[in-house]
Amino acid sequence: MQVAIITGAGGGIGFATAQKLYDMGIAIVGVGRDREKLKKLEAALGNDTERVATVSVDIAAEDGPQTIVKLAVERFGRIDYLINNAGIGSPKPLHETDDETLDRFLGIMLRAPFRLARDVIPHMKPGSAIINVTSTFAVVGGRRGGAYSASKGGLQSLTLHIACEYGAQGIRANCVAPGVTATDMVRERMNDPGFVRMNVDMTPYPRLGEAEDIASTIAFLCSKGGEYINGQTIVVDGGWSSTKYLSPEAMAAK
């Protein structure tokens, strides 16, 4: 039985990914800070104690990665997949970002994935994979990106290193870069005309991304079909980052 560690598993993309991988027969180690959200994940997966373990931990804490890896090895005896998904939003531009905010973003979205991958790799065998959830802000320039862009861009570069350094051992590393995805946080911003203009009106597909879209891509990279994909960034954004699309409504706006 294969085993996947998923950070940020209490909601959104992480929750959907846990469900998708569980349905593929993979055992899940769900990681999050909110114990109540993790209980909802356990319930969604049928309270299957033989194939599901969760741990409430701050991944940025000094003992965070060790706690996660220890649980996975003690419960299941192996680690096949690491999905570094946990993240935070609402960044500010460079000139508005203080050191505390910078350290917080880098700590959660770059330092923690770095340390967790470092602790996981010794337990991985050929056929294993690390999937880092980055962002379109790691692919193109984005306003207000600041520390978020720096973190996600660094994570993309780390992925390339892992793919090169450990690919010969049969350990792959790839990025999945979501565009704006319809999570609770994003839905709250749909009343902001500027947000809608920037994201909805510039996406040449008639809906926003869903957590299921990202989870399906991650699941593919954990499947036999994704076995020869290494060192890549798969952007899941409906064409937002690769086109110059503007909706007819936006084109006609004054």
Encode the chain (254 residues) as per-residue pLDDT tens digits.
999 999 999 999 999 999 999 999 999 999 999 999 999 999 999 999 999 999 999 999 999 999 999 999 999 999 999 999 999 988 899 999 999 999 999 999 999 999 999 999 999 999 999 999 999 999 998 888 899 999 999 999 999 999 999 999 999 999 999 998 988 767 777 788 888 888 899 999 999 899 999 999 999 999 999 999 999 999 999 999 999 999 998 888 77
Domain ranges of the chain: 3-183+210-243
Instruction: Enumerate the β-bridge partners of residue 178.
Output: 236
Catalytic residue status for 148: yes
Measure CA 242 to chain center: 20
The CA distance from 30 to 129, in Å, is: 17
Catalytic residue among 22, 81, 148, 166: 148
CATH class of this structure's domain 3-183+210-243: alpha beta
Cβ proximity of 184 and 12 under 8 Å: yes
Q: Dump the DSSP string for 6-28.
A: EETTTSHHHHHHHHHHHHTT-EE
The CA distance from 44 to 138, in Å, is: 32
**Contacts of residue 224, Cβ cutoff 8 Å, sequence gap at least 6:** none
Q: In what order do the strands lie in the sheet with 3-7?
A: 52-56, 27-32, 3-7, 81-84, 129-133, 172-178, 233-236
Among candidate residues 55, 39, 44, the one with its CA nearest the CA of residue 22: 44
